[in-house]
Structure formats: structure tokens, C-alpha cells
Structure 1
Amino acid sequence: MSVLWLVLLVSLPTFTLGLITWAAVRHFLIAEVPSILKQPVKFRFLHCVVLFTIAFGNVLEKLKICSMPRFVQFTHGIGTRKKDPTLVVTDMHFGTIPVRLFQPKAMSSNLWGIIFYHGGGGIFGNLDSYSNLCSFLARETDSVVLSVGYRKLPDHHHPSLSEDCLNASIHFLKDLHTYGVDPTRVVACGESVGAGAAAIVMQSLLSRPDLPQICAQVLITPGMQLISFHLPSHQQNQNVPFLTRDLMMLGICKYLAIDLSWREALLKGTCVPPDTWKKYRKWLSSDNIPQRFRGPNLQPEFPGPFNEAAYLETKQIWDAEVSPLLADDKTFAQLPQAFLVSCEYDALRDDALLYKKRLEDQGVPVSWYHVEDGFHGCVMLFDQKLFSFPCSLKVIRAVVSYIKGI
């Protein structure tokens, strides 16, 4: 027995060192670090940590100890939550949905209400990892913030995420008076996949005139469609952390329960019927992206031949509850004013630009904030001091400024 323990004690550090080395080598082989970043070493280090965590999770999954998503979710919130003496923070459940409520201690009867949907692609993120961001929003805007802990992988797939966000929102809107929130001052706010969920919730609530209407949507680096991966931002930023093409496709396929063997069909667009593309290209085409965001040598859209089998396996991407950008003009015309945040070095940058155009075409007021040195997920680092970036603070301050100015 003592020999076995000795072997384990020797092998574990060796195994860990091997994974660290693998993560570093993989980073330098595939990652593209934006030249505009003033702190590239910090950026590289954080990406290596992400790669190591995912790799460790994959090993645990192969050993049938713990799934990779569950391991990543566990590590994502460790040591990140900070207490704010100006707020009352309450964990509760709306039915089976875990939520966290952030309320100013100095309560009044006409506070702003913010419903927040966190990011993470259905793999990363939880109430703890976004707790500091929600605390900041509550404190700086003098608002009641509801953070929704929707169901995620590995146990839950589409449409669990959007269903939980919608149901939690309805529950909150029905009881605004309980929290001292003015029914005319409610904002839906989300980041990444959470911003896409916010858009889906906004569209769904249009059929509920019995509920208080949300007055504004604040969408930070939103994911709005899963159809065109040939947009300029997808081509330009496919290897830029922290949303590389590989990680993005892994999250999409797992969340929609699409076998990874169809990954290339999704990327190349061979799962897109020509007639359907003809119908929707007016909303999805890169022709709608401002010229300054289009670089040289871009690949043409959907060059591959149509594969009907791929379409049948992936057709859920055409559902507006997966790709809210595809909702009809009548729906878009009824949506409230919007504040959109996009980052230059983000594969999802052009999703925000396409959504912006659709809203503007229907006469919906849109404010847009573009971060020239921003990358996907940077807002998560706004309060991490040593690991924060200038773009992180720019995003959160812009969001606060917009909400206070509504």
C-alpha cells in the first residue's frame, strides 16, 4: 500500500506539470494575441489557465470521475465572490431555478430593476462567478439586480437555458412591488450567451401584455445567431482567446445536442439550404457589416455544396429561440430601446452589428459602444486587479452610464 501511495504522490505532480506544459504549447501554437493589447503576457497567462482547466476537466471526464463542464463550473466561481456592505444579497429559488438578488440596503419604492443573464456558453459561468459584476451594477446604478442561475451542461441542453431565463423573468416581473422596483424601470441585461438569452426573453415577453414591460435591453457581446460562421469577425478572430472557434463550436454542439461530427458542416454552411439562405441573407449577410470591419481576403459565404443530412441534424439553428436575429420585422419593431456592446477582437462582434441594424431598420432606438481593444469575456475581469484590463473597465462603466441615463 505504501508503494501505491508513493507512486500516486510522484505521478500526480508529473501529470499536472505535463498538462501545464501542454496548455502552454497549445496556446503558443494556436492563440492569436491582439497587437493592440498593452499587457500581452497577462493575456497569454490567463488563456493558458483556461486551456489547462479544460484539459484537466477532459481527463476527469475520461476517467469517469467528473464531467468537464461540471469541473469547469466548479473552478470558475472559486474565491471570486466579494461582500459589499452596501447591499443585501439573497440566494433563493424561483420554483426550481436558483437566483441571486442584490438589493441596496437603503430601500425605496421606485428603484431600477435589472434582470441579469450570465455568459459562459452553457458550459462556464454561474451565480458566483458573476456575483461581483452584479454587485457593481446594483451599487453603481442604485438598482435591484436579479441574477438568474439557469440550467447548463452537462445535464441540460436546449431549450433549458432560455426557458429558465424566461420563467425567472416572469416570476420577477410579477412581484416587482415586493422588491421596491418601479414597474416602468426594468432592464434586461446579459453577456455573451446570456445576452442572446436576454434577446429571446424580450421577444417572448411581447406576448405577455399582462406583465410590466421591460424598458431597455443591455446586451454585452451578444451571441445572436448560429448560422453564419463566415462573418468577418468569425474569420478574423477565430483564434483569439477567450472565445476561439474550437471552444465556440464545442459549446454549440454540446448545448444543441449535435454530434461533433457535424462541426465542419456548421462552419462551412453546407447545412444551410440555398433557398433558406436566400430568404434570410438580408439579415445575416456580411453585406450588413460596416465596411471598416471587413478585412481583406475573407472567404465567401457558404461556398460548400448543400448537405441535406447535415441540415436535418442541425436544423434547430433556424429556431428564433436559438438564433433570435431571425425573428420577423413585426417582432423587432415592438422591442424596447437597446444598448449594445461589441469588442473588436471577438468572434461575436458582428452578431451585435447585425442585431443593431435590424433594430435600427425597425425604428428602435439603439446606443452602441464599441471597444477597440476589447476581447470576448473581458468584462468578467473588471475587478480582478492584477488580471484586469483597461477594456474591462470601459465596458462595465459604459453599461452603468447607459442605465443611469435612461
Structure 2
Amino acid sequence: MPQLAEKVPPSVAGAVLRAVFALPDPVRRLIAGRAVVRDGQRLALDAQLLLLMTRLEGASLTGATVPEARQGLARGQRYINRLPERPVRTRDLAAADGIPARLYEPKGLAEGSPLLVFFHGGGWVIGDIESHDSVCRYLAVNAEVRVLSVDYRLAPEHRFPAAADDALAAYAWAVENAAALGASPEAVAVGGDSAGGNLAAVVGAFADRRPDFALLFYPATDMSVRRRSRELFADGFYLTDADMVWFSDHYCPDVERRTDPKASPLLADDLSGFPATYLVTAGFDPLRDEGEAFGERLREAGVRVAVRRQEDLIHGFANMWGLGGRFQEALAEAAGALRTGLL
């Protein structure tokens, strides 16, 4: 039987969601219920309200099948997509070995701008250029950069290390072709969220020509160990522990290979050559602790790194910026860090 979310057109569901978010805070608090406090952190009202709406429509990140999970993410993103006011020109192209990619160029951006090579999240199984189109537009406009979004191969059709190999190849191609893309080859950053943050970390650790900056949103950095945040936020906060198991089993079913640093960059022997980094985690996120552990490894290796915990937010907040409020504030901070880091 189709769920309610499948019966309601995305435009209608999106309008309802925006209407609820536009209500006065006292009314929104009545709808959301008592504030959620865990591990000394208070969940943002914006996040609590979105989680409630998600539960009411029966949505989840993973589905009974991979196609269903991919369709679900695509549909959910259409609810909250929003475009920056400044126009952004896009161009679809092929990177190394024919890897699909999309170039984002804000109107009026001068030639020779910095370039961000971006890898979307989705547990290496779901997500694509379209699911992160709004995020890339926002970063392009607010960080004054060109963005190359990479559509790397997904599991289970292409298991580890396919995504990591594509990320390294696409990044190397971007550096080599930066001038042709209108960007400076001397100011190339790498970034990504969740699984995309994992791939960006792999590039930062293993690329022959290291990036000039890394922007990591709640990255997955260690597939081999369960940390405390996996237990604290196992269910009820968008990304669940069961989702993580599902993603890992599809991407790298061979458990012994999960200690490979190209699957778990936290386990790399030497991170001293990693670029200067802004790494942001979410307080109510199963991935929180491994992301922060990676930041600590970078600090120990002498890397210039800013580790920022948005303690009142949930996994995936970058994609939620279209709802405004705390989601947009957190993404704005990251965009500012990227812009400053590439000066």
C-alpha cells in the first residue's frame, strides 16, 4: 500500500511544510511538543519540527529496495528545494573516464575563481547531482566559487572502492582542467557531506596534488568501529543506526576491507599532508563522534583544522537549508569558512 508521502504531490507537501515552518515559534513549539535534550544538547525547534513531519508521512532514508530508497530521497528533497536569489548557470559535463559532473557558476563571478569539487552524500548508495543541486548552488553563491559536483558510481552496482576511485579521478581531472572550467588551478578545494565527506577526506588524504582546502559536512570516517554517538542517536534523528548498517553492507560488504583507509580515512597512517579543513558535525547524529575523531587526528598531524559541532542539529542539515532558520545559519557558516579558507 502506498504511503501518504507517495500520494501527496511534492509541491503540495512542500507548501504544507513551509507553511508550518512559517508559524510563530510558540505555535511551532506546541506542534513539536516538549523540547528534546540528549547528551547535554537541546535539539533545535526547526530540527524537531522537521523530524515530526517526516515521521507523520512515514519517510525514511532506506527502503525495502535500493530503487525505493533512491526515489524516496529524490522525492523528499523536492519538498525543501530552494534556489539562491543570485542566478547560477549550470553545465553538465564529463570528468575523468566519463564520470558525470555538473559545473555551477554564479552570475558575475570573475574568471579564475576558486573551485570546489563536491561529492554528494547518500551512504554511497543513494543521492546524485540532483539531490544536492540546491546545496551546490548555495555554496557557489555564498562562497564565491565555482562548484563541480561529481556523480560518482553508486553501490551495490559498484561497490567499494568504485566511489573512492571515481572521487580521486574526478578531482585530479578538475585540477588539470581548472583553467578551462574558468577557475584557478591554484585554489581548488574538495568537499562533501556524509558519504561525500568520506570521499572528500579520501581525496584530501591520498590525492597526488592535495587540495587547497577541505569542507567536510558530518563525514563518515571509520566503518570499522561503533562509537558512542551511534548508540545515543541510533533512532529518531533522521539518519539511524539501521540506515548506517544498510549503507555499509551495500557499499562494502566485505567487513575485512572496511579498515582500508580509502573506506575509513580516519585509519590512514599519515594525515600530515591533509589540507586546511573546516569540519562540521551535527550534535544529534550517529556520525558525530567519528567525524570529530577525524578532526582530532588532523589536529594531531599538524593540520590547520576548525572542528565545529552544530550541537542542536541533525544529520543532513545542509540539504535542509531551504527551510531557513538554523539549517540555513549552519550552511551559511560553512560557506563563509570555505570562502575565507580559499583567500
One of 227, 240, 246 as aligned partner of 1:244: 240
State the Cα distance separating 1:234 from its structure 2 match.
1.4
Partner SS, residue 182 of structure 1: strand
Distance 1:19 1:217, change over 3 A: closer
Q: 2: CA distance between counterparts of 1:377 and 1:144?
A: 22
State the Cα distance separating 1:120 from its structure 2 match.
1.0
Identity %: 24
State the Cα distance separating 1:96 from its structure 2 match.
2.6
Counting only pairs closer than 5 Å after superposition, residues 19-38 of structure 1 correspond to structure 2 as: 34-35=36-37, 36=42, 37-38=44-45
Q: 1: CA distance between counterparts of 2:5 and 2:246?
A: 23
One of 113, 116, 119 as aligned partner of 1:114: 116
Checking the alignment, whether the CA contact within 8 Å between 2:112 and 2:179 is kept in structure 1 is no
Counting only pairs closer than 5 Å after superposition, residues 2-401 of structure 1 correspond to structure 2 as: 16=3, 34-35=36-37, 36=42, 37-39=44-46, 40-49=48-57, 51=59, 54=62, 57-58=63-64, 61=65, 67-72=67-72, 74-76=74-76, 78=78, 80=81, 82=83, 86-94=87-95, 95-205=97-207, 208=208, 211=209, 213-229=210-226, 231-256=227-252, 258=253, 313-329=254-270, 332-383=271-322, 385=323, 388-390=324-326, 392-401=327-336
Partner SS, residue 100 of structure 1: strand
Checking the alignment, whether the CA contact within 8 Å between 2:321 and 2:328 is kept in structure 1 is yes
Q: 1: CA distance between counterparts of 2:90 and 2:172?
A: 20
**Matched letter for residue 293 of structure 2:** L
Checking the alignment, whether the CA contact within 8 Å between 2:129 and 2:151 is kept in structure 1 is yes
Distance 1:102 1:51, change over 3 A: same
Checking the alignment, whether the CA contact within 8 Å between 2:4 and 2:57 is kept in structure 1 is no
State the Cα distance separating 1:84 from its structure 2 match.
6.2
Checking the alignment, whether the CA contact within 8 Å between 1:70 and 1:153 is kept in structure 2 is no
Match of 1:405 in 2: 340
Checking the alignment, whether the CA contact within 8 Å between 2:281 and 2:288 is kept in structure 1 is yes
Checking the alignment, whether the CA contact within 8 Å between 2:86 and 2:106 is kept in structure 1 is no
State the Cα distance separating 1:124 from its structure 2 match.
2.7
Distance 1:18 1:368, change over 3 A: closer
Distance 1:324 1:315, change over 3 A: same
Q: 1: CA distance between counterparts of 2:319 and 2:205?
A: 26
Q: 2: CA distance between counterparts of 1:107 and 1:400?
A: 16
Q: CA RMSD in A?
A: 2.6
Distance 1:147 1:18, change over 3 A: closer
CA radius of gyration, larger in: 1
State the Cα distance separating 1:394 from its structure 2 match.
2.7
State the Cα distance separating 1:53 from its structure 2 match.
7.5
Checking the alignment, whether the CA contact within 8 Å between 2:5 and 2:59 is kept in structure 1 is no
Distance 1:42 1:327, change over 3 A: closer
Q: 1: CA distance between counterparts of 2:139 and 2:340?
A: 14
Distance 1:34 1:149, change over 3 A: farther
Checking the alignment, whether the CA contact within 8 Å between 1:371 and 1:395 is kept in structure 2 is yes
Checking the alignment, whether the CA contact within 8 Å between 2:224 and 2:258 is kept in structure 1 is yes
**Matched letter for residue 68 of structure 2:** M
Checking the alignment, whether the CA contact within 8 Å between 1:196 and 1:324 is kept in structure 2 is yes
Gaps of 5+ in 2: 8-34
**Matched letter for residue 38 of structure 1:** L
Partner SS, residue 130 of structure 2: coil
Checking the alignment, whether the CA contact within 8 Å between 1:118 and 1:194 is kept in structure 2 is yes
Checking the alignment, whether the CA contact within 8 Å between 1:151 and 1:160 is kept in structure 2 is yes
State the Cα distance separating 1:49 from its structure 2 match.
3.9
**Matched letter for residue 401 of structure 1:** G
Q: 2: CA distance between counterparts of 1:375 and 1:343?
A: 5
Q: 2: CA distance between counterparts of 1:147 and 1:17?
A: 32
State the Cα distance separating 1:74 from its structure 2 match.
4.8
State the Cα distance separating 1:214 from its structure 2 match.
1.4
State the Cα distance separating 1:71 from its structure 2 match.
3.2
State the Cα distance separating 1:89 from its structure 2 match.
0.5
Checking the alignment, whether the CA contact within 8 Å between 2:272 and 2:301 is kept in structure 1 is yes
Q: 2: CA distance between counterparts of 1:176 and 1:18?
A: 42
Match of 1:26 in 2: none
Q: 2: CA distance between counterparts of 1:326 and 1:50?
A: 37
Checking the alignment, whether the CA contact within 8 Å between 2:102 and 2:150 is kept in structure 1 is yes
Q: 2: CA distance between counterparts of 1:41 and 1:365?
A: 36
**Scaled by the length of structure 2, what TM-score is found?**
0.81
Distance 1:188 1:17, change over 3 A: closer
Q: 2: CA distance between counterparts of 1:395 and 1:222?
A: 15
State the Cα distance separating 1:110 from its structure 2 match.
2.6
Checking the alignment, whether the CA contact within 8 Å between 1:381 and 1:389 is kept in structure 2 is no
Deviations 1:1-57, CA, capped at 9 Å, x for gaps: xxxxxxxxxxx6xx546999xxxxxxxxxxxx8443324343221245463685xx5
Q: 2: CA distance between counterparts of 1:18 and 1:89?
A: 30
Q: 2: CA distance between counterparts of 1:119 and 1:18?
A: 22
Checking the alignment, whether the CA contact within 8 Å between 2:118 and 2:147 is kept in structure 1 is yes
